[in-house]
């Protein structure tokens, strides 16, 4: 189990703290505009799809936030992490209402076809709807919070 706490610290930044099941963890101050929305999409997708090898799964298994946020490929990348990142990109369009769930399914298939890979069985229109709802609730809760308040999430 990974326990995440996100605290609104300013109009531009939030503090992410996490503690793994073994008691280890870390904290980082993060720019909200560029990362919070994306991290919420990851959390919603990985939770609803029950992924253990995506961003938060890797974080719970000992990787650091800095390692996983690096822009260069590294040894922590797994097939599931890559699939999760691709799915998050596709889901972003649906959440921002620039694509429908059906268009997202077609886009993900095109992307996977380009890599000679199949669409994973977990990526369905039903999952997309669940991710949309989870993300809506996360963002709504976050937007209702005052500075200094904390949102706690459990992963795994």
For 153, the token pair is 């999430």
User: Taking a C-beta distance cutoff of 8 angstroms, is the pair 10, 151 a contact?
Assistant: no
Supply the DSSP symbol for 28.
E
Angle subtended by helix axes 32-48 and 125-144, to nearest 10? 140
Mean pLDDT of 91-102: 95
Which of 3-7, 24-28, 65-69 bottoms out in mean pLDDT, i.e. has the lowest?
65-69
Q: CA-to-CA distance for 113 and 129, rounded, in angstroms? A: 23
| pLDDT at res. 67 | 84
Mean pLDDT of the chain: 92
Which residues, listed in sequence order, are joined to residue 150 by a DSSP beta bridge? 7
Q: Domain spans of the chain?
A: 2-145
| pLDDT of residue 74 exceeding 60 | no
| pLDDT at res. 72 | 53
Confidence of residue 66 (pLDDT cuts 50, 70, 90): confident
């Amino acid at each position: 189990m990974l326990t995440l706490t996100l605290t609104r610290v300013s109009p531009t930044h939030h503090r992410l703290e996490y503690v793994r099941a073994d008691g280890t963890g870390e904290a980082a101050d993060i720019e909200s505009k560029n990362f919070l929305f994306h991290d919420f999409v990851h959390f919603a997708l990985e939770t609803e799809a029950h992924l253990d090898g995506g961003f938060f799964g890797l974080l719970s298994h000992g990787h650091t936030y800095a390692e996983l946020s690096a822009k260069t490929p590294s040894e922590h990348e797994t097939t599931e992490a890559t699939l999760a990142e691709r799915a998050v990109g596709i889901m972003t369009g649906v959440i921002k209402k620039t694509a429908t769930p059906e268009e997202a399914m077609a886009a993900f298939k095109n992307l996977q076809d380009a890599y000679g890979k199949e669409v994973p069985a977990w990526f369905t229109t039903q999952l997309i709807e669940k991710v949309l709802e989870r993300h809506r609730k996360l963002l709504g809760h976050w937007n209702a919070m005052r500075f200094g308040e904390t949102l706690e999430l459990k992963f795994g």
